[in-house]
Structure 1
């Protein structure tokens, strides 16, 4: 980490400032401003923070945006991807290819740390002197704390013990993995600071106090039980502080590029179908059969990098998750590939010889399709690579379902059922049939049912892996529902966490092979 996190972050940090202060990046004096000057200057910090947001948003672009959605009970890699890339296939098979040398996992580790470190520098620089509550400095500290807290939350969920980037205690902490209790205490403190200092309203794509309270609630309900920090009462209190500031909108509006940043949106990453602000998601998740038949100018062409599992796309009576009348189903998943009266077939792909595994015309993720890239659209973009819908990070329905979980754990299941029915009412267009209303159920039954409801509501929104980990259902559900995991039969309990990258252990003297997560080499 000394090189691949700290060095990259410092270079990125100075690059962030280049547009506004190129005078100190000249040949004679490339370091005219030292770090203490840079990170204590509120105008330079604002520029740095914008760069951190841009880098964070980039995590959710192109193929790298999909890696953490692979290998779950909700989405899996497409058949050709599994056949053509055995190493990456390990993410779904959970075989020996899922190891410390797997570049796709190393990248997920590597792309987050420079952003964490930049946020840490901002927090240290602005906190070197007392920060006045409500000031611009306080707002920036709050936003940087939110970014660091959110990314540390993900890193801790995926890898367990991680380094703590508290620059005021760097000499003491080093670059070692820290005990889980210390890590989660740090995450909670960051998100509390963010809740206290982020503004109530902010520019789209930037953190607010509502987003911070939402993530603090998620942290309290996700912290490992072993830390003693999991607290559903505190989580519920966090959610109660912010839910009233948002409202549910028709589900289809969430995926309509004409209605970005709805009243349900707590935080969305801002994209557009124009390079370099496109996210390329549809290029990765559309259908190759459609691409082969209609070309790049069909807005749901793509390369099948992830597809829904059979459980995630099937109806309840076929052993899946979807109930009759749930409008979310056809907003979330594409079943019909007919395009302007023509139906594609697999003939152009038959040479690939995938046997019974062809899935290019099986159900696909639909949420991120962007018609503005279609050859029939007015934009004349003609390539799904330019897909650029906003990507939701946090939204109210997610938090309502989290809140319902907390109520259930607090033995207030009847109230929890009512909250879930609010979300389900929206899913049935505003009128929930009596036979679709949740009624009184036991606490354990609720725990099972809420996981299906979260899949229906949040399909392919990058929360499933975390949901499975925090509820202890990871291995059970993935083994039963992911086609490739089931075929392989090699998933083990240690696969709940990912391997620490080999490159990190080679570059960071404080993390050695002895510090590797159990089960990995």
Structure 2
């Protein structure tokens, strides 16, 4: 935590490269800190390096998908990968040596600590900084805040970097209220100086904006652990309302659901009216997300002779639960007429007139419904495999903001207004622009009914976008839903028992602090581990 980062990105950007991609960021060079933070060009390159590190840490968010009622790992992954099995089942593989948890810990702390270096330097001259330097200060604050937000959600109390008054103790685990106070301050500072996406000066989709900071500040107040004292529906509603009222998003120019996940529409103005922020990728080697590589079917991958380039090939790394792909009439999620179902889930694996063979597969789930959202048809034009899938990956969408805003309105006594928002904006689009009367939610729902319906609606709208586990944790529904709906926890697959059912122990709702951190951080000992591990 205390290591001063001396490496920055310093080369110029490729002249004709897309401004929304990262391949134009050149290798790092070692130069003194003052040459970084006092030089506008070097500082800009430093910040782009942090954005890239943040993005690359979300290249594969599979760890955030595990252990939910929305997705589970495929059978072969369950058999062969103890780290994934542990996170999905809340069992022995969920331990301090879990490599997936360690990777997330390292990435988020690296970005946050490097951002803290910039914050420490730039804050000293904030009152005299040029607009450009305060913009970079705001970006650093946002990046530190957003990475700590994810860490505190998954691990609980964490070490911090650069908080005034902590000094050398910043590498000890800090209480939740201290952590959330820092995140709050970071997002407030980010909101102050970040640009609005409607501003002519904002042209780089890699970079944070004012509405993004407002949305994350709203998320902080909505998602904060209740014991931290920071959960506040009034404050959350005020932040989400700012984004909701921003004319850049939603409105009559809002995209249909199919446009949101159309790879060829990512640069369109209509598409951008939905994306408060998306991680920018391309199909170029080194710049791809490869997300479909994990989400596709291994049965399709093994087709011959050239079907490895199939749009939905992969290795069953993460798959929809039965609840996430079945109709309501079958005991699942989807209502008749909801267009999001076909955009989100793949049911048909016919490729070039052939259906892949199931011969030789142990689990028989290789042609179960798979995740479709991130299939990238552009790879076909280049003859590439799904390893080179490069669709942008949403982080916060406008519909997410609407659902969060509506939830907060419900909890502050404006139930009618909140439910009407969901009906008129999210559900109306989901049903092709006209919401049948039978599908319109009643405005007199009780709290338990509203919460259950809201969690279903969030899954339908945002499935496989990385928010499900945090949603279940903050509502206290994780154990109940996962024990019923995740096949590896429930032990049930297609109504047949495949494993003994698992009862999730309360301590496993937080991930363990990685052993590497306990061994290498001089301010931590084994006693700092989360209880139970």
> TM-score of the superposition, structure 2-length normalised?
0.89
Q: For residues 179-258 of structure 1, what are the structure 2 equivalents within 5 Å? A: 179-201=175-197, 202=202, 203-245=204-246, 246-247=249-250, 248-258=254-264
Matched residue, 1:99: 95
| Superimposed CA distance per residue, residues 186-239 of structure 1 (whole angstroms, 9 cap, x where no aligned partner) | 111111111111111231121100101011001011111112211101111111
Matched residue, 2:125: 129
Q: 2:80 aligns with which of 79, 84, 103?
A: 84
Question: 2:126·2:134 contact (CA, 8 Å) conserved in 1?
Answer: no
Matched residue, 1:38: 36
| Superimposed CA distance per residue, residues 349-401 of structure 1 (whole angstroms, 9 cap, x where no aligned partner) | 33xxx2xx321100100000011112xxxx32331111000111111000000
Matched residue, 1:370: 376
Matched residue, 2:498: none
**Aligned-partner SS, 2:277:** strand
Matched residue, 2:277: 267
Question: 2:35·2:42 contact (CA, 8 Å) conserved in 1?
Answer: no
**Aligned-partner SS, 2:482:** helix
Query: 1:340 Cα shift?
Result: 2.5
Query: 1:74 Cα shift?
Result: 0.5
Aligned Cα root-mean-square deviation (Å): 1.9
Unaligned runs of 5+ residues in structure 1 are none
Matched residue, 1:423: 426
User: How many pairs were matched up?
Assistant: 494
Q: 1:276 aligns with which of 283, 286, 307?
A: 286
Query: 1:270 Cα shift?
Result: 0.9
| Superimposed CA distance per residue, residues 122-146 of structure 1 (whole angstroms, 9 cap, x where no aligned partner) | 1111112133588111111111111
Question: 1:95·1:490 contact (CA, 8 Å) conserved in 2?
Answer: no
Unaligned runs of 5+ residues in structure 2 are 14-25, 492-500
Query: 1:15 Cα shift?
Result: 4.2
| Superimposed CA distance per residue, residues 42-76 of structure 1 (whole angstroms, 9 cap, x where no aligned partner) | 32111100000011110122xx4211111111011
**Aligned-partner SS, 1:394:** strand
| Superimposed CA distance per residue, residues 416-451 of structure 1 (whole angstroms, 9 cap, x where no aligned partner) | 110111200000110000000111211221111100
Question: 1:411·1:443 contact (CA, 8 Å) conserved in 2?
Answer: no
**Aligned-partner SS, 2:459:** helix
Q: 1:305 aligns with which of 317, 338, 342?
A: 317
CA distance in 1, matches of 2:398, 2:73: 29
Matched residue, 1:515: 528
Matched residue, 1:496: 509
Q: 2:111 aligns with which of 105, 108, 115?
A: 115
User: Do residues 392 (structure 1) and 394 (structure 2) align?
Assistant: yes
**Aligned-partner SS, 2:300:** helix
> TM-score of the superposition, structure 1-length normalised?
0.91
| Superimposed CA distance per residue, residues 221-274 of structure 1 (whole angstroms, 9 cap, x where no aligned partner) | 111111221110111111111222201310010100111152111111111111
Q: For residues 57-72 of structure 1, what are the structure 2 equivalents within 5 Å? A: 57-61=55-59, 64-72=60-68
Query: 1:19 Cα shift?
Result: 6.7
CA distance in 1, matches of 2:130, 2:419: 38
Question: 1:239·1:403 contact (CA, 8 Å) conserved in 2?
Answer: yes
Question: 1:93·1:490 contact (CA, 8 Å) conserved in 2?
Answer: no
CA distance in 1, matches of 2:340, 2:118: 40
Question: 1:131·1:137 contact (CA, 8 Å) conserved in 2?
Answer: no
Matched residue, 2:327: 315
**Aligned-partner SS, 1:131:** helix
Aligned CA distance change for structure 1 residues 83 and 66 (closer, same or farther; 3 Å): same
CA distance in 2, matches of 1:244, 1:229: 24
Query: 1:38 Cα shift?
Result: 2.2
CA distance in 2, matches of 1:44, 1:253: 37
CA distance in 1, matches of 2:257, 2:132: 36
Matched residue, 1:14: 7
Question: 1:413·1:443 contact (CA, 8 Å) conserved in 2?
Answer: no
Matched residue, 1:293: 303
Query: 1:88 Cα shift?
Result: 2.6
Query: 1:87 Cα shift?
Result: 3.5
**Aligned-partner SS, 1:268:** strand
CA distance in 2, matches of 1:284, 1:429: 30
Matched residue, 1:482: 486
CA distance in 1, matches of 2:129, 2:69: 44
Q: 1:442 aligns with which of 403, 424, 446?
A: 446
**Aligned-partner SS, 1:323:** coil
Question: 1:82·1:89 contact (CA, 8 Å) conserved in 2?
Answer: yes
Matched residue, 1:145: 141
Matched residue, 2:416: 414
Question: 1:213·1:242 contact (CA, 8 Å) conserved in 2?
Answer: yes
User: Do residues 463 (structure 1) and 467 (structure 2) align?
Assistant: yes
